[in-house]
Amino acid sequence: MQTALDTNIFVYLVDGRSPFHLVTLEAVAHLQRRGVELVFTVQNVIEFWSVVTRPVETKGLSLTTSEAAARVEWIQQSFTLLSEQGEIYPQWKRLVLEYGVRGKQVHDAHIAAALVAAGVSHLITWNAKDFKRFKSLTALTPGEVLAGGLDQ
């Protein structure tokens, strides 16, 4: 089973100062022990780079480009990048129109479209409410994962 990780999962995995760090780490480790293939999209990497390189004052991590590149390399080595091939744009267009997606939420719709195009139905995120509108996705928080949300 493939399960996607949202951008905020990667941010909290590398931000040891965050109060979300440990539970995020535990949830990812739990899934890996169960043999779940954890995947991500190009959009996740783009958003991750944006967050980790912006200043702390604007809710970033103030990493240098070299530090960010090392974290991205770790992500690529540790998890599976979904192909950009396929029907992502038509899926994205369908989702934004069907669900009336506006503003910054279009980035989440792009992630959802990539997952739908790849046949991935589960997403781990700290912003599950932002993905609940997409009926083809099941969005769970790390806490829900640890409580057995993916166990079946």
Please give the chain's pLDDT, 152 residues, in tens: 899 999 999 999 999 999 999 999 999 999 999 999 999 999 999 999 999 999 999 999 999 999 999 999 999 999 999 998 778 999 999 999 999 999 989 999 999 999 999 999 999 999 999 999 999 999 999 999 999 887 75
Q: Is residue 27 part of a domain?
A: yes
Number of domains in the chain: 1
pLDDT at 84: 84
Question: Does residue 41 fall inside a structural domain?
Answer: yes
pTM of the model: 0.93
Do the domain assignments include residue 89?
no
- Tell me which residue range forms the domain holding 141: 2-83+120-146
Q: How far is CA 78 from the centre of its chain?
A: 14
pLDDT of residue 152: 53
* Residue 133 covered by a domain: yes
18 sits in the region (left: phi over 0; alpha: psi -120 to 50; else beta) called beta
